[in-house]
Structure 1
Amino acid sequence: MKRIILDPNNLNRNRTLAAFEKVNKDLLVKIRADRTYKMPPNYINWQILSGIAAIALSTCEPDYAKIDVSAFIHSYRTALWFAQDAPIYCLTKELIGAFDRTDALHKPGILAGWQPSLPTFMLAIPKGLIFTPDGGEIDYLTVSCSDCEHPEWNRGKWRHVEIEPFNLKHHLYFQICTVDSNETVWTSGTAIGDNGVLIYDETSSIGKSIMSPADKEFVQRIRNLVINALLALEFSPSLLTDVTETEAKTKSKGFAIERTSSNTRYPRWFGKNYQSQSVLSTGKGTHLSPCTHWRRGHWRVLESCEGKRWRDTKRLWIEPVLVNP
């Protein structure tokens, strides 16, 4: 993931969004008239997210790549998410914890034969859960999937804004983008090689800041989180449930009545009813029972992808387990 501070003199994303709204009020009015997301409490709200989408739509033209590549990539991917009317998934704290304890980055062939169902989607992160090494908070991740056989995945249009695809170096690729609360852009791309090998160069940088060891460790966590999410979306559909109108209801001010219109959207829960597993060791043999510890989770590839479609293969999530709680 590459990083650059958008404005070193203003380390508050909310202030930047407020300033943008004064200048581009008409664009925001159109965006909010087009759709409104009702988000559950403790997740990024549509007021902020629509502002981020507005900035992305305003800066997704290739000319902006000459100013800063990483900022352009974030705008390009986030604008695509909005233009394609792609979904939002609200990850729960419990599922994020389980994914953190599931190693997907080092599983051989983990994405062999990968054929994603969704070109792009957004993962909403609970507030106060994921922070960068610089103390910025992450409250969303835009995830985009690219396939040379599907150039339409990287093309979109919304009103007068046209988003054109660019040349891809790799046949299969996924990219992660976000802007944290300190206005730092984070983007990371991973290609999928033969036999599902993950191709990622930790030494390269497309931003204006040098990646520290702590930054690289943070990036690994985010990449691992997204790979687990990609697999779970395909092979663990039971983790997905609808966010109800009641769950997304916010407190009204005064006597105002919150109304639901035809352009209202709701995200989906990702892991709402998930609960961590725990077991007691049997204590067999002469050795003492181990102290409380987590047994890492992993993905088991049950069948080879050779000659088979991605969805005809089996990937089973062996969940992390707390031993001797």
Structure 2
Amino acid sequence: MINKELRFKGNVMRRILPSREKTCVMSYKLSKKIMSILFAGIDIKELKCSEIYIPRKRDKSKIRVRIYRPLELNEKVPAVLWIHGGGYAIGTPEQGGQIYKRLITERRCVVIAPDYRLSVDAPYPAALEDCYEVLLWMKNNAKELGIKDNQLIVGGESAGGGLTAALTLYARDKKEVNIAFQIPLYPMIDDRMITESSKDNDAPVWNSQSNRWAWKLYLGQLYGKDVPAYAAAARATDYKDLPPAITFVGDLEPFRDETLEYINNLSKAKVPVYFQLFKGCYHGFDILCPKAEVSKQATSFLMHSFGYAVDNYFAKQN
């Protein structure tokens, strides 16, 4: 069932994934340390990269934020808050370097990438609070950042897609900042695991077991209880007034059905959606196998849809 160009790396990932919960948690903690060493502070030579620490309102501790912009910027442009994936448990903002480069070079914009708190250190709502703090900071510092405060976009993959969906709900209800567009790629949004694609899924990279353990870490004491939609966006019941969405998902992965349900709920609420389903694809196929033809198709769809959004939805804005 797996696309032939994705099979080799998929089989490799299947073999190295931990098979027990205790091993999985230890793997997350080790991966977090390794990724912070390998990625932290890496710049992209084709972009102007910088780093800033912004204070959390609650305790004045700092959130590390990476900023990526064109080498030359003489006008205000849209801004993308990009939230990295990693099951809410691992990852760094630097890991998204390739997508930042594509977004910025193909459609001039500024990318802001927060190093939000991970579940191995602090469960929900820590990550959501950090991302929201950075979103407000973007709005309040738009002039200094060279961005348009009415063209703030939020996106991310996997857990970053889950945080994207949650953040759009949270921002809509708080009414302090407006999100113009959302890009929740194959989002991790349903802790209940009640869809067919999330049950007994043994696909490479991310399966039912890894999904369950990641949700337990992220939700902490809330796991198995009355989880709010700000933690798991699939639990939302009101989709009105949410921003237009761009997303895609592979048909073999656990998040297929929850992504389909999410976009259907948006469509029912008259929210514009740009979506594609890619056959023979497991979780994160576009990142793991970027040279595969199907990955190129997914990336082209994303960039085309993003360009359409910038050219059309923002055309009448200053």
Shorter-chain TM-score above 0.5 = no
Whichever structure has more helix as a proportion of its residues is: 2
Select the structure that is richer in strand: 1
> RCO higher in 1 or 2 (8 Å CA, sep ≥ 6)?
1
Shorter-chain TM-score bucket reads: under 0.3
